[in-house]
Amino acid sequence: MRRRPPQAKIAQRVIPHDLRPVALRDELIELGDLFRAYQQRTEPDLALLADLQERKARAFTTWADVTCEGALRWEARRAEQAAAATRLQHQQRTGTLTGGIADNDGPAVARLLTVPAQWEHALSVLAYVADHTPLPGPEARLLVLMLTLRTAHTGTGNLIGQDLTALGLTDPQDLVDKLTSCGWLTLPGTTEGLLASRPENPTPITVPSLVPHEDQAGPFTFGKKMRPKLSGWAQKFISDKKLRKAKATAATRLLALTLATQTDASGRLGPGGQGIDLHALAAWVPVDSGELQHLVDQLTAADWLTDAALTDTHLTGQLTERVLPLTCPLRREAQQPSG
């Protein structure tokens, strides 16, 4: 009896023997072999690993295009994020990062998130939440972001009522009820109990989609020590005294958080300080263009943003010196203006 040849695999996925085009199948098989060979290395080679992750991202994107399987596209995005983080780690270790992250004429800033790899992790959470918030609107986006940061490593975490009431939500109870009704969030009791919970008796929460499974890693590449750093970073936006004094809405706080990840080293908005495209900004902060001016005005009043100008296509401006420690500057290659 003829024995079947072993199944070709990559990232625990079986590569179908009839996958076409053949060149794609050959690339996936080769990548699977290369990743397994890398795992056998006695010394890491971060430049090689970043190259492999970039090849995997391209191959999985093509695979997703061929099969229309959404999970493959998400795996491709994860590979892109892993490649970027690994590349930055390699540059930090080899000293080739100097001048590559930000403009050298920017002020020296002691940032809360200190290294580019942490900035990439913060951006990866924002991107994930933008794609996976189950409800529309900026209030739901901000709440899902904060809950994701609380539960990102294991899918579980603790919450108290003040965590919700501090977000500037119009109706936090209704929003939590909707998240539990659609299955995105699981509570051991009622929403009323969650809102009433205090630090000495927090409520355990679960986000099922973030619970890792044996055969599949979670959506984020950072570890358990990184999660509270990212959560603490985001909490700074929520608890900022001037934002609270200005009675900033949840949408304004979401915009503030987003802008902090879309600057150059000196705090100028957008790639190369040339401003942020409004279509791109709408993907991060889901508000109507007519509402955006009000949010910008709130940030200006709260001494968060200065020299802001809103056109039909871009938002330009400068984050104030007091909030520069919260920024996660764009990489130089992402800062070059198009054209």
> What is the 3-state secondary structure of 129-155?
HHHHCCCCCHHHHHHHHHHHHHHCCCC
Q: Would you say residue 334 has pLDDT above 50? A: no
Average pLDDT, integer, range 100-127: 73
pLDDT at 119 over 80: yes
Q: What is the mean pLDDT of residues 50-71?
A: 88
Residue 103: inside a domain? no
For residue 335, pLDDT over 80 is answered with no
- Residue 92, pLDDT above cutoff 80: no
Residue 1 has pLDDT above 50, yes or no: no
How large is the average pLDDT for residues 96-125?
Answer: 67
Segment 175-191 shows an average pLDDT of 95
What is residue 317's three-state secondary structure? strand
Say yes or no: 72 and 124 in one domain. Answer: no
Tell me, yes or no, whether 175 and 72 share the same domain.
no
Same domain, 180 and 248: yes
Confidence of residue 103 (pLDDT cuts 50, 70, 90): very low
Shared domain for 203 and 171, answered yes or no, is yes
Counted domains in the chain:
2
pTM reported for the whole predicted model = 0.67
CA dist., res. 67 & res. 65, Å (int): 6
Question: Please, are residues 168 and 248 in contact by the beta-carbon 8 Å criterion?
Answer: yes
Chosen domain end from 94, 124, 140: 94
Give the pLDDT band (50/70/90) at residue 39: confident
Tell me, yes or no, whether 282 and 213 share the same domain.
yes
Per the model's pLDDT, the better-predicted residue between 87 and 248 turns out to be 248
Same domain, 144 and 187: yes
Q: List the domain range (segments joined by +) for residue 165.
A: 116-329
Q: Which amino acid is at 86?
A: T
Within a domain: 339? no
Q: Looking at residue 254, what is its pLDDT?
A: 95
Rg (CA), the chain: 22
Query: What rounded mean pLDDT belongs to the chain?
Result: 85
pLDDT tens digits for range 273-289: 889 999 999 999 999 88
177 burial type by CB count under 10 A (0-12 exposed, 13-18 middle, 19+ buried): middle
The pLDDT confidence band at residue 3, using thresholds 50, 70 and 90, is low
**What is the 8-class DSSP label of residue 273?**
G
